Amino acid sequence: MAAGFKRRGIQVECVQTDNGFAFTNRFSNSKKDLPTHFELTAARLGIRHKLIRPYTPRHNGKVERSHREDQKRFYDSHRFFSLADSSVQLTAH
């Protein structure tokens, strides 16, 4: 994804996410002090990671709506066989 942003001249400064375990271990009992792959990658790329307040999905309402529209308009009508295939289909779309 970072390579795609770079090709298009997009510089990501901050990413806002919910508190899912893919994004943070903040609420994990056993891994609380271990960074996730997402957190490590964001730090390596110099991207600030902002977490929304727990149990407030409305804070990500616009992105949730965008994901729903992406699903309806693109992903529901395409099948991907690899990450490279998805990139080719997205570029053609």
Helix (H, G, I), strand (E, B) or coil at 50: strand
Closest of 51, 40, 68 to residue 14, by C-alpha: 51
Tell me how many domains the chain contains. Answer: 1
- Three-state DSSP at 38 gives helix
Question: Is the full-model pTM beyond 0.75?
Answer: no
- What pLDDT, in 10s, does the model give residues 59-93? 888 888 888 998 998 889 888 899 899 888 888 77
- Structural domain includes residue 49: yes
β 14-17/48-51 pair status = parallel
Inside any domain, residue 84: no
C-alpha angle with apex 84: 81 to 86, nearest 5 degrees?
60
- Condensed to tens digits (0 to 9), the pLDDT of residues 3-44 reads 878 888 889 999 999 999 999 998 888 888 899 999 999 999
State which residues form the domain around 18.
1-62
For residue 33, the model assigns a pLDDT of 85
